[in-house]
Amino acid sequence: MKNINIKNSIILVLCITIICMGIGFVVLSIELKSKQKETSIFDIIYTDVEIVSSIKGAKKEPSGRINIKSNGKVLDMNFSLNNPNDELIYIVTIKNAGNISGEVIDIIESPEYSSKYMTSIAPVKITYTDVKGKILEPDEETQMKIKVTYDKIETPKKIVFNEKLAIIAESR
């Protein structure tokens, strides 16, 4: 009799174990199917441009316009500086709008006024905060400061120019 009760107890424990494993398998299967349907989105973009300051070197105010284009990947900038000591400062927000982390590899200028073609707009200088190597988690933001300055010269002239800044990024 005692032998039969031990056998029945073992059979009962094994049946309960099999039922629990079956329920666990069903739950795991449902989770895996929902994970398969999720897609990884990688999207580091410019989201906002705000002018911080505009300093005029004489009577006429300098002007600038920055538009976000190409689904947030490019800043299209137009500037008009009239006098020495004119200065424009902008803060640009860069955001990871995807659901996986990413790294800003580089900011590409077109044309490269801050290095290669700087003599074509001299004495104007363009500088911006280095965000290369910045890793952004999903929904994380960073800011880049763009500064356009008209240095002092003997014979001032109005300088009007365009530039584009594009984000090069990769997933992490």
12-57 pLDDT, tens digit per residue, is: 999 999 999 999 999 998 888 877 777 788 899 999 999 999 998 8
- Return the structure tokens found at 72: 């947030």
CB distance 64 to 77 below 8 Å: yes
| pLDDT higher at 104 or 8 | 104
HSE-CB at 114 with a 13 A cutoff on CA atoms is 16
CB distance 91 to 143 below 8 Å: yes
- At residue 115, the pLDDT reads 67
51-83 pLDDT, tens digit per residue, is: 999 998 888 899 999 999 999 999 999 999 999
pTM here? 0.76
> Residue 138: CB partners within 8 Å, gap ≥ 6?
96, 98, 99, 100, 101
- At residue 144, the pLDDT reads 96
- For residues 147-166, average pLDDT: 89
